[in-house]
Amino acid sequence: MLNAIEGSQAIAQAVALCRPQVVSAYPITPQTHIVENLSKLVANGQFNCEFVSVESEFSAASVALGAAMTGSRAYTASASQGILLMAEVLYNISGSRVPMVMTCANRAVSAPLSIWNDQQDSMAVRDAGWIQLYCADNQEAIDTMIQAYRIAERCELPVMVCVDGFTLTHTLETLDMPEQQQVDDFLPPYHFSRTLNPQKPISVGTLVSPDYYSEARQEHHQALLDAQAEIIQADQDWGKIVGREYGGLLNIFGDADAKIGILCLGSVLGTLEAALQQGLVTEKVKLFQLRCFRPFPSHALQLACEGLTHLVVLERALSVGSGGIVSLEVAVALNYLPQPPKLYACAAGLGGRDIPLQILPKLLALTQQPPQPFQIIDLK
């Protein structure tokens, strides 16, 4: 059913449709509306769930971990400093191969203090062993939230659904909210294979000697790589139900025969699409929305970039002292192509700075020159 609804409220409703038994969260801007809406749904009896309002993000992630270990479907959400405070637990959750879903309402990281959007927070925990999916709009956020539980439970891996803070979380859009039955059909009740069970006692998270640590890491790494198939499958299966698909790992727009490509993550896709539609540039351009950043879809990217002469990677984060985060990984992936495109790495929109439509001609102007070192292209 179509509804004009705020992004956070829509995400909360989508979470409730997934029927998690435990939600544990701590308020932080711009995630707050998501958990507030969830607590309202619980208080109004519309959502049967244990909502644990804890005293910190560290506790929020830990409670979710404990709940998931009992076999419950668990959910948490955070942003920025909250994600960083959770970092230790994020590794613990994924390393223990415990499925759960969290929303990251992407926000810049302090210091200097900023409550506005960029993607430094989720990028800071990119190596934590979670699947990371980045949404371009709120409809995708709803659909991805539901897909995320399917992926998490089938792969026994946690999934972080990243939505740009304020740009998506605080924006009203006309959205199609799925029916409960549709979600129930897609997400049947789930049984965690390693749930705490006195009949079959096991210990999780125990000390591992150097004899086994590398093998445990390799298994985890392989599980993430293998999750790509489930991510594509979940997108296709959910697409058959609601009639919307997002390209699985990598969503591709624009001219198929374009020689210039622009790759981005999250809501900036809408800006680039609008700029193309308004004819701000005359060149043919192919747009790539990197929907899945972890696992990194190297193969899908290689296939998609064949024939390109130039590729611009636009990020909303940076590895301070190195440069582009995504662009570095793209460079490694494309290095295996016989004729890789020239790569242009840049960032914009840090700490909530608006990315205007005019970014598109600016990005294309980069490709007129030989590749330069990474740069923040919207500095004053």
Partner 1 sequence: MFALKADWSQEIKKRYFTLDDYTGGEARWCPGCGDHAVLTVVQRICRDKQILPEKTVAVSGIGCSSRLPHYMGTYGFHGTHGRALTIACGIRSRRPDLDVWVATGDGDCFSIGAGHWIHAIRYNMNMVVLIFDNNVYGLTKKQMSPTSPLGFKNNTAPRGTILQPLNPLTVTLGITNVSFVAQTIDWNPAHLYATLQAAHNHRGTSFVRILQRCPVYSDEVFSDIQNDPSKILFLNHKNGIHIGDNVKRLFPTQREHDPSNMSEAYDIARNHVPVGLLYHAPQTPCYEDFSSVGRHMGIEDKMKGLNDALDQFAV
Which residues in this chain contact partner 1 in the complex, by CB under 8 A?
A: 26-29, 32, 35-36, 39-40, 43-44, 51, 53, 55-57, 81, 85, 110, 113
User: Quick one: 78 or 367, whose CB is closer to partner 1?
Assistant: 78
Q: Is 248 left (phi over 0), alpha (psi -120 to 50) or beta?
A: left
d(CA 8, CA 35): 8
How far apart are CB 80 and partner 1 at their closest, in Å?
Answer: 10
CB nearer partner 1, residue 41 or residue 318: 41
CA 83 to chain centre: 13
**Closer Cβ to partner 1, 171 or 375, answer by number:** 171
Minimum Å gap between C-beta 31 and partner 1 is 9
Pair 343, 305: CB distance under 8 Å:
no
Please report where in the chains the tokens 């993430």 appear, as a residue.
224
* Least distance CB 28 / partner 1 (angstroms): 7
β-partners of residue 77 are: 103
Q: Which two tokens stand for residue 343?
A: 């790569």
Q: Which is nearer to partner 1, 3 or 56 (CB)?
A: 56
Q: Which is nearer to partner 1, 42 or 241 (CB)?
A: 42
Least distance from C-beta 83 to partner 1, angstroms?
12
Q: Is 251 helix (H, G, I), strand (E, B) or coil?
A: strand
CB of 161 to partner 1, least distance (A): 21
Residues 144 and 151: their CA atoms lie apart, in Å, by 10
Amino acid letter, 380: K
Cα 145 from Cα 130, distance rounded (Å): 14
Nearer to partner 1, 58 or 253 (CB): 58
- Spatial neighbors of 137 by CB under 8 A, at least 6 apart, are 168, 173, 267, 270
Q: How many CB atoms lie within 10 A of CB 193?
A: 9
Q: Which is nearer to partner 1, 86 or 363 (CB)?
A: 86
Q: Which is nearer to partner 1, 44 or 369 (CB)?
A: 44
DSSP code string of 54-97:
-SSHHHHHHHHHHHHHTT--EEEEE-HHHHHHHHHHHHHHHHTT
**What is the helix, strand, coil percentage profile of the chain, to 5?**
40, 20, 40
Nearer to partner 1, 57 or 143 (CB): 57
Segments in 195-266 forming alpha helices (H):
213-242
Residue 9 C-beta: closest distance to partner 1, Å = 13
Are 63 and 11 within 8 A, CB to CB? Answer: no
Return the CA Rg of the chain: 20
Distance in Å, CB of 35 to partner 1, minimum: 7
CB of 59 to partner 1, least distance (A): 9
Query: Is omega for the bond preceding 112 within 30 degrees of 0, making it cis?
Result: yes
- For residue 85, the minimal CB distance to partner 1 (Å) is 8
Strand pairing class (74-78; 101-106): parallel
